[in-house]
């Protein structure tokens, strides 16, 4: 059965990822969009979610590709209208919001999905399987990119709730929490804030592993030239390196897999499965690490940032 879907927010991520993924999945039909400033050719357009919900009761699923700050009110309205809801990452601006939405989805008997797109990169399942039978000795995340390239002029990421460098950093944490066979927690953090911004531009984290493995993460939004999205792993029985954000996997120096970017098609396939089975997926473990980093982080002020 084809599910009718509305996409809320028609910005860069919607055009680059959501719309192609929806169009390529026969289980979904993009029936409408919600945006005050943009639309999609051939698709019904609404300026408000309220208007959409009133005029198109036949649409079963709402996908929210808007910044995290206003996302709670949109998701709450959609859930109360009996719609399934798909949340772009991060799923909200606070854990409390996300837990409230999860409870509301249960109450309304609909599906809700906190999407972590990097978990759905081609090589992540293979690395998870490989690591499951090995003892971890070291895990090092290095996630460095150019904010001017990936978030041009997007001021919301520098405001409270926008998460700053943790907007991409949480992608790495979503992979880490997916592949590890046990839970870890942040024990130390250093956060660099531009003197004119409310969220960090760089961060360094250390984790406590119950088995004593050395675990670190470095996030930086000031990278120019080649971008870096790597996770290096050492075990008692071999080493692995996940790069390109999860599209390339090497084990013991040998290329195991190098795939294409199928993250968002995989997300919409997962959402279709959840709706079909009457289930939800609201894993908050990546978000918990970010909140702990803010709680434990030593704040360092650095030079101003301007686009």
Catalytic residues: 89
Query: What whole-number distance in Å separates Cα of residue 134 and Cα of residue 155?
Result: 43
């Amino acid at each position: 059965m084809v599910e009718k879907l509305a996409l809320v927010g028609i910005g860069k991520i919607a055009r680059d990822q959501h719309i192609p993924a929806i169009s390529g999945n026969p289980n979904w039909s993009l029936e409408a969009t919600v945006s005050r400033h943009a639309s999609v050719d051939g698709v019904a357009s609404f300026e408000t979610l309220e208007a959409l919900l009133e005029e198109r009761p036949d649409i079963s699923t709402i996908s929210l590709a808007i910044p995290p700050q206003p996302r709670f009110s949109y998701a709450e309205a959609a859930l109360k209208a009996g719609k399934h809801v798909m949340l772009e990452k991060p799923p909200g601006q606070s854990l409390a919001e996300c837990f409230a939405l999860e409870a509301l989805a249960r109450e309304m008997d609909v599906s809700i999905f906190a999407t972590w797109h990097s978990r759905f990169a081609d090589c992540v399942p293979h690395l998870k399987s490989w690591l499951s039978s090995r003892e971890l000795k070291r895990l090092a995340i290095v996630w460095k990119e150019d904010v001017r390239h990936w978030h041009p002029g997007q001021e919301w990421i520098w405001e409270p709730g926008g998460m700053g460098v943790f907007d991409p950093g949480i992608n790495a944490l979503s992979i880490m929490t997916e592949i590890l066979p046990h839970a870890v927690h942040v024990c130390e953090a250093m956060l660099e804030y531009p003197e004119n911004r409310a969220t960090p531009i760089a961060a360094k984290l250390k984790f406590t592993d119950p088995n004593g493995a050395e675990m670190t993460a470095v996030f930086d939004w000031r990278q120019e030239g080649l971008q870096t999205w790597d996770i290096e792993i050492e075990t008692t029985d071999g080493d692995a390196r996940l790069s390109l954000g999860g599209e390339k996997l090497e084990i013991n120096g040998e290329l195991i897999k190098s795939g294409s970017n199928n993250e968002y098609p995989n997300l919409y396939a997962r959402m279709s499965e959840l709706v079909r089975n009457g289930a939800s997926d609201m894993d908050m473990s990546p978000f918990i690490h970010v909140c702990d980093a803010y709680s434990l982080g030593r704040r360092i002020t650095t030079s101003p940032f301007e686009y």
